[in-house]
């Protein structure tokens, strides 16, 4: 379980602890779908609210299957080719070996557009298209993702399941409301769902179910 509480130190970060910048639509741990031959990305996420910020920053969800229906065949074709390098989050790059900081050229869409698996993150410096045509199609996909999205206030008592294989999520920018002792009020909890940890066997275990992105062999 990760506790997502805004950190006043991290307010300008693009992470679950940030606040002042919108955390734009992304698939969780997108780059980890294409690390070598393994997929380390969670298949789903659970979010629940513990404490609600009165400003109600929303978590937004977007079903990529709906977004893909808005795109041209040419854009689908581009997004299905290995034309995109997907990067690990900025905060990780300092401690990650260079060869694991970004994927080799990978597709954004795998499978058919009715039954796709998608991989992307739209906050800054997360996906590097390898040419202009690929970049244009990615931008159109981003706009379509925004268009079909909807907001949810993850308040206490609500449990949201996000299928991380084709559902993007984002978090609004907000200025955290503080309690009497000066601590941010907002508090969400997040769980990563993985059907099994077989792929993780080559990673360095930090704790029982916590792994470091450094290959063991
Ligand atoms: Fe996320």
Per-residue model confidence as pLDDT tens for the chain (217 residues):
899 999 888 888 888 888 888 899 999 999 999 887 788 999 999 999 999 999 999 999 999 999 999 999 999 999 999 999 999 988 888 888 888 899 999 999 999 999 999 999 999 999 999 999 999 999 999 999 999 999 999 999 999 999 999 999 999 999 999 999 999 999 999 999 999 888 888 888 888 888 887 655 4
DSSP 151-175: EE---BT-EEEEETTTEEEEE----
* 105 CA to centre of ligand 1 in angstroms: 22
For position 89, what pLDDT does the model report? 86
Residue 35's DSSP bridge partners are 38
* 26 CA to centre of ligand 1 in angstroms: 6
For position 215, what pLDDT does the model report? 57
* 189 CA to centre of ligand 1 in angstroms: 12
For position 128, what pLDDT does the model report? 97
Closest by CA position to 126, among listed 19, 28, 3: 28
* 72 CA to centre of ligand 1 in angstroms: 28
- Please say whether the beta carbons of 112 and 78 come within 8 A: no
For position 187, what pLDDT does the model report? 96
What is the enclosing helix (H) or strand (E) of 210? strand 210-215
Q: Which residues of 27-115 form beta strands (DSSP E)?
A: 44-51, 59-63, 84-86, 109-110
* 42 CA to centre of ligand 1 in angstroms: 11
Is the backbone of residue 36 left (phi > 0), alpha (psi -120 to 50) or beta? left
- Going along the chain from its start, the domains and CATH numbers come out as 2-215 (3.60.130.10)
Q: What is the CA radius of gyration of the chain?
A: 17
* 213 CA to centre of ligand 1 in angstroms: 17
For position 217, what pLDDT does the model report? 46
Other residues' Cβ atoms within 10 Å of the Cβ of residue 179:
9
Q: How far apart are CA 60 and CA 75, in angstroms?
A: 24
* 212 CA to centre of ligand 1 in angstroms: 18
For position 144, what pLDDT does the model report? 98
Q: Is the dihedral of CA 51, 54, 57, 63 positive or negative?
A: positive
For position 43, what pLDDT does the model report? 96
For position 37, what pLDDT does the model report? 77
* 84 CA to centre of ligand 1 in angstroms: 20
């Amino acid at each position: 379980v990760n506790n997502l509480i805004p950190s006043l130190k991290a307010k300008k970060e693009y992470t679950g602890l940030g606040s002042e910048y919108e955390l734009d639509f992304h698939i969780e741990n997108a780059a980890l779908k294409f690390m070598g031959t393994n997929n380390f990305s969670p298949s789903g996420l659970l979010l629940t609210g513990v404490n609600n910020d009165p400003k109600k920053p929303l978590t937004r969800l977007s079903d990529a299957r709906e977004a893909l229906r808005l795109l041209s065949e040419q854009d689908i074709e581009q997004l299905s080719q290995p034309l995109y390098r997907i990067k690990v989050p900025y905060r990780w790059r300092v401690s990650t070996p260079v060869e694991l900081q970004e994927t080799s050229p990978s597709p954004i869409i795998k499978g058919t557009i009715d039954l796709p698996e998608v991989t992307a993150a739209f906050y800054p410096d997360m996906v590097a298209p390898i040419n202009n045509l690929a970049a244009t199609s990615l931008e159109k996909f981003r706009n379509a993702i925004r268009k079909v999205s909807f907001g949810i206030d993850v308040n206490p008592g609500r449990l949201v399941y996000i299928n991380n294989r084709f559902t993007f999520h984002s978090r609004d920018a907000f200025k955290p409301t503080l309690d009497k002792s000066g601590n941010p009020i907002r508090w969400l909890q997040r769980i990563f769902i993985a059907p099994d940890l077989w792929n993780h066997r080559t990673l360095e275990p930090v704790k029982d179910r916590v792994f470091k992105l450094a290959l063991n062999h």
